[in-house]
Amino acid sequence: MTENKTNWKREVLAGTTTFLAMAYILAVNPGILSFGLSEALNPAEPLAAIANGTAPDPGAIFTATALASALGCLVMGLWARYPIATAPGMGLNAFFAFTVVLTLGIPWQTALTGTLVSGVLFFLLAVTGAREYIINAIPAQLKLAVGAGIGLFIAFIGLKNGGLVVGSDATLVKIGDFSEGTVLLTVFGLVVTAVFMVLGWKGGVFYGMLATLGLGLATGVIDLQLAEGFTPNLDAAGAAFTGFEDAFTVHMIAVILTMLFVDFFDTAGTLFAVAGQAGLVKDGKLPRAGRALATDSIATSAGAVLGTSTTTAYIESTAGVSVGGRTGLTAVTTGFWFLVSLVAFPVFGLVANNPSVTAPALIVVGVLMAKALGEIEWVKLEYAIPAFLIVAAMPLTYSISNGIALGLVFFPIMMAAKGRWKEVHPIAWVLMLASIGYFLFLTE
């Protein structure tokens, strides 16, 4: 702390600020992986899939989220010594639920096995020199497009869950019914959350959820009984070890590689962004980068064993850095609060089981992730075309992997057409062929 000109009070405040900025994941993650998945599997009986085990128990997802986040934060703080917090990643949880389980029909237990395998592979990449080789193989423009596309996909899920966008036989989608209380509550939550964010409140998303919850309870739109049955448990722990028999099919290999790809580049980008804001990047390099990346992979593997989707570094860590966080004590403090949250499960149960409360958070997080669009070189069509296809295909095909694959197919072709084929990394050509195979054999 002396070396970084900080003190324990400032670090604790920073860690608390980071927690408030990302605490929404404790409600949103069960909302997607359990309640959201169950409703998507059986719209007529939204909770039926949870009852029969086709979707995981929400209390188990909540527990796994809190414990995986706490573990990742503690390892990041004590070993890598960075003020960067970890938690199950937004986007990857949607990929897990709506692409892997819902679209591909893979059991959630097997999907957890895939998450575990991707975490182990990530660890191997993190502790060897392979990480730099792979990072350099994927052009920065595609990395930016993947992040932005995931943001739009998450926002679309939020608009759908909140009732602002509904299905239509004539136009596929249309605006929702604003005479419904749940839709109006979603609108209120979106406005309030957006105002908090514009005002610069560090925990704006979290406070917006609490305000929406309060209004919902006061108006009777939300029933207190929604929290019943939402209790912390470890029912999903160990489920990842039951799916190895089906974990290495062609479909699952594609799933594992997608998880690895998104997590690897998302984590690397977040680490450099947060460390750069904190002034911890030296001569363009990140000290102890191997430890920081390995921390993410350890948290992902542990989270999969506990029962949640991929754990990754959170850009909300910049909230803590902005109030002075510079050392691992910031991350340790955030981890402490995740453990404390285990006793506040009734509040998170109410939030997670009500899409009107979580939808505004998804939409605003989508906005934050879409900022990457501004960094794409749209004037260069060899970049713009594959980037646009990535961004557009994710929400429109309801699949993150479809968007990534489209971009990987078009990028080498566009670069070759421009006469820049020598600038395309050999791995990019391999990924193009693999993506073509994905569309020919893995999509329905």
Question: Quick one: average pLDDT of 151-164?
Answer: 90
Could you report the per-residue pLDDT of 1-13, keeping only the tens digit for each? 888 788 888 899 8
| Domain annotation covers residue 305 | yes
| Domain annotation covers residue 130 | yes
Model pLDDT, residue 442 = 64
Model pLDDT, residue 131 = 66
**Per-residue pLDDT for 304 more than 90?**
yes
Using a pLDDT cut of 70, give the percent of the chain over it.
97
pLDDT interval class at 279 (50, 70, 90): confident
d(CA 363, CA 178): 18
Residue with tokens 């997080």: 365
**Per-residue pLDDT for 318 more than 90?**
no
| Domain annotation covers residue 218 | no
State CA 130 to chain mean position distance.
24
Model pLDDT, residue 132 = 62
Asked whether residue 129 falls in the same domain as residue 241, the answer is yes
Model pLDDT, residue 19 = 92
Asked whether residue 317 falls in the same domain as residue 415, the answer is no
Residues whose CB falls within 8 Å of the CB of residue 131, separated by 6 or more in sequence, listed in order: 125, 264, 268, 290, 293
Average pLDDT, rounded, for the chain:
89
| Domain annotation covers residue 310 | yes
Residue that is last in its domain, among 356, 388, 408: 356
Asked whether residue 352 falls in the same domain as residue 402, the answer is no
Determine phi and psi for 38, rounding to 5 degrees: -60, -45
With CA atoms as reference, report the closest residue to 359 among 4, 32, 13: 32
pLDDT interval class at 284 (50, 70, 90): low
Asked whether residue 76 falls in the same domain as residue 120, the answer is yes
pLDDT interval class at 126 (50, 70, 90): confident
Asked whether residue 281 falls in the same domain as residue 341, the answer is yes
| Domain annotation covers residue 137 | yes
**Per-residue pLDDT for 444 more than 60?**
no
Could you report the per-residue pLDDT of 377-416, keeping only the tens digit for each? 999 999 999 999 999 998 998 877 788 889 999 999 999 9
Could you report the per-residue pLDDT of 19-63, keeping only the tens digit for each? 988 999 999 999 999 999 999 999 899 889 999 999 999 999 999
Please state the domain count of the chain: 2
pTM value is 0.81
Residues whose CB falls within 8 Å of the CB of residue 158, separated by 6 or more in sequence, listed in order: 358, 359, 360, 361, 362, 363, 366
Could you report the per-residue pLDDT of 139-154, keeping only the tens digit for each? 778 888 888 888 898 8
Model pLDDT, residue 121 = 93
Question: Quick one: average pLDDT of 240-244?
Answer: 92
Question: Quick one: average pLDDT of 181-207?
Answer: 91
Model pLDDT, residue 187 = 96
Could you report the per-residue pLDDT of 64-109, keeping only the tens digit for each? 999 999 999 999 999 999 999 999 998 899 999 998 999 889 999 9
| Domain annotation covers residue 198 | no
Domain region containing 259: 8-164+223-356
| Domain annotation covers residue 211 | no
Whole-Å CA distances, 66 to 19, 27, 402, 419: 11, 10, 30, 50
Asked whether residue 231 falls in the same domain as residue 341, the answer is yes
Asked whether residue 306 falls in the same domain as residue 417, the answer is no
Asked whether residue 394 falls in the same domain as residue 440, the answer is yes
Question: Quick one: average pLDDT of 301-312?
Answer: 97
Asked whether residue 313 falls in the same domain as residue 269, the answer is yes
Asked whether residue 141 falls in the same domain as residue 36, the answer is yes
**Per-residue pLDDT for 252 more than 80?**
yes
Asked whether residue 429 falls in the same domain as residue 316, the answer is no
Asked whether residue 15 falls in the same domain as residue 129, the answer is yes
Question: Quick one: average pLDDT of 283-290?
Answer: 78
Residue that is last in its domain, among 356, 388, 418: 356
| Domain annotation covers residue 266 | yes
